[in-house]
Amino acid sequence: MKILTENLRMAELGKIFIISGPAGVGKSTVCRHLLNRFSGCLKRITTVTTRAPRPGEIDGIDYCFIDEATFLRYIAEEKFLEYVNVYKKYFYGTPIAPVLSNVRHGIDSLLIIDTQGINNIRQRFHYLALTDCIVTIFIVPENLGVLEERLKMRGSESPEDLARRLEAAKNEIKCAKNYDYIVVSGSPEEDLASLEGIYNLEQRPKISSSSLSYCACEDS
């Protein structure tokens, strides 16, 4: 790591749209459609994980799949904006370099983040004087029964995993009040319309970086 000090003058900073919600609520699907809708100005930051790919998932697109030893080395090298150990089983982390690069170049970033990780991001961006770049959105299910049916339809959870995810969902939903926006999930089309509305609203106006100085951490 190295510390770079920059004076950004009369440039527009990119925003960071953070999407959270319990497993099975449809985050990945609606985010994929949102990225297609705003492909010229919104880029997804691909999460790094130590879990194995699910059927149909593509390395580098859905997630970057790495082994635990490599993940721990990345932690030591401070390559993550945030990371969590989910269920004390798998690690998930957000690489810091592409996020800061997008911010500096006026490109908006889309992150799908666990509720555990968002406080770490807020703290890091407070330190970088970039708190106003963050927009947080929580997608909440209509009720836990609907969420349970969606998880069952995925067919990727054992009964034990299903029970654990539903219990985790109860705690995650309690965190929704800490987000800028809460979207009650309906159909994929309704969810996309809600996120489009939020995205368009947050673009007016974009943040000006005039007279802003900060220290940005980036890979050497």
The CB density around residue 88, as the number of other CB atoms within 10 Å, is 5
Average pLDDT over residues 30-43: 93
Instruction: Measure Cα distances from 138 to 12, 71, 111, 141, 144 in Å.
Output: 26, 27, 12, 10, 15
Domain range for 134 is 2-45+107-218
pTM of the predicted model as reported, rounded to 2 decimal places: 0.80
170: domain CATH number? Answer: 3.40.50.300
Q: Would you say 39 and 133 are in contact if contact means Cβ atoms under 8 Å apart?
A: no
Domain count, the chain: 1
Asked if residue 14 is part of any domain, the answer here is yes
Q: Would you say 19 and 202 are in contact if contact means Cβ atoms under 8 Å apart?
A: no
Asked if residue 8 is part of any domain, the answer here is yes
| Bridge partner residues of 6 (DSSP) | 214
Statement: residue 37 has pLDDT above 90: yes
pLDDT band at 204 (very low <50, low <70, confident <90, very high): low
Residues in the chain: 220
Asked if residue 116 is part of any domain, the answer here is yes
Asked if residue 31 is part of any domain, the answer here is yes
